[in-house]
Chains A and B, each alone.
Chain A
């Protein structure tokens, strides 16, 4: 299981920070990617970034300059930081597990983050 947590409201220009807690399996497994995906209200899915067991990270080209994904294997958690947010970053943010061929077979329930002053 995956569970997102973090503030539901972030002010413009500030940094959005979310945590994904993984249970029922190790985040250190060499079989999976771990990803962040978001979905603005009424719109489609957008990949934010991923990391793999070796610690390599991959980011969406459109968000690359503002995104950092990190991991704490001791807590079986991984994190998303998105800087300089604006209203366009308002979305439901999901964390998910991906197979080596990027089949996202387990998703968190998603958490709505609203960017507003």
Chain B
């Protein structure tokens, strides 16, 4: 099985842009879709990006997702940061055996 590695934490100022990476340890990042979840304290996770770069209805277009085969990683970019974006973010994918893998999570601080 593979692992997804995320930075433990990132911080940025309101109005700025931040990118959170998610690197796949083995196999191609492009082989299986990547999802991104936002989790605020005390709440269940919610999807902010699905199928690499799709945004669910209701998620602002400040959120975008991409994959980069050269670095075998996926990225979540949040532009025009707001204090309400402060949360934990998790990437997630799966393999051909229908095993699901989560990244370790990234704590985003907006200060």
Query: What residues make up the interface of A, taking CB atoms closer than 8 Å to B?
Result: 33, 35, 37, 44-47, 50, 52, 56, 58, 60-61, 94, 98-99, 101-105, 107-110
Contacts and interface: CB of A to CB of B under 8 A. Distances in A.
Given A44-B103, A45-B39, A105-B47, 13 more contacts: A37-B102, A44-B104, A44-B105, A45-B45, A50-B100, A60-B99, A61-B1, A101-B50, A101-B51, A102-B100, A103-B33, A105-B56, A109-B44
Interface string B5-44: 0000000000000000000000000001101010100001
A103 B100 contact: no
Interface in B36-94: 37, 39, 44-47, 50-51, 56, 90, 92-94
B45 to A, nearest CB: 6
Contacts, number: 64
Interface centre among B99, B100, B104 (most CB of A within 10 A): B100
B98 A50 contact: yes
Nearest 6 CB-CB pairs, A to B?
A103-B50, A47-B100, A107-B44, A44-B105, A58-B98, A45-B102
A90 to B, nearest CB: 17
Interface of B: 1, 32-33, 35, 37, 39, 44-47, 50-51, 56, 90, 92-94, 97-105
A22 to B, nearest CB: 15
B99 A110 contact: no
Given A58-B98, A94-B44, A103 B104 contact: no
Contacts of B99: 47, 58, 60-61
